[in-house]
Structure 1
Amino acid sequence: MARSPIFLERRGYRLRRMMDALRFLPLLGLGLWMVPLLWPASETTAQGDLDSMPLSMALQYIFGIWALLVLAAWGLWRHTREQATKDGEPSAEAD
């Protein structure tokens, strides 16, 4: 009786890890979007100056994180699609 190997082949293992990375991206994005909540609030000091991060910087940060998440998801999707077609699975474009 032939025994199946205990470990997965490399290509299948990598494909599963890429899919796991795609599933983890929303959680990573949520965590990174929470960072501006840790920045100091806008309160004036006795001297009248502000000790806070400007709102424009926070919006740039949030938009930058969003753009990086979109690019990361696109790159991981392309890589998993290429790996799946190499394994002989039909791609979404074949339908």
Structure 2
Amino acid sequence: MGEQPLFLERKRYRTRRLMDVVRVVPFVCAVLWIIVPLMWPVEGAGTTLSSALRYVFAIWLLAITACFALWRRTRERTGPRG
């Protein structure tokens, strides 16, 4: 059985951490979306409906942008397939 190195090479380590971030993004977005019901207006309290909808749209846009950016970075690190 061959000796495995104690540490991974830098490129492989960073690629693995980047993939960990890709796996966590949906959970972070889900937590941010769970906050939405707390923002709905309740007779004189809470935020306005337009502010809550802007929040929903901002989280949606942030999720799409983050997924696209992370996809590009992982594609650059792993190389094109095919």
TM-score tier after normalising by the smaller chain length:
0.7 to 0.9
Q: How does 1:4-83 map to 2 (within 5 A)?
A: 4-39=4-39, 41-43=41-43, 50-83=44-77
Give the AA of the match of 1:6.
L
Cα contact 2:41–2:49 (8 A) shared by 1? no
The CA RMSD over aligned residues, in Å, is 1.9
* TM-score, reference length from structure 2: 0.86
Give the AA of the match of 2:64.
V
Higher relative contact order (CA 8 A, sep 6+): 2
- By percentage of residues, which structure has more helix? 2
Q: Which has the larger radius of gyration?
A: 1
* TM-score, reference length from structure 1: 0.75
Show structure 2 runs of 5+ residues with no match. Answer: none
Matched position secondary structure for 2:46: coil
Identity of aligned residues (%): 41
Query: How far 1:2 moved relative to its partner?
Result: 6.2
Q: Report the number of matched residues.
A: 82
Give the AA of the match of 2:51.
M
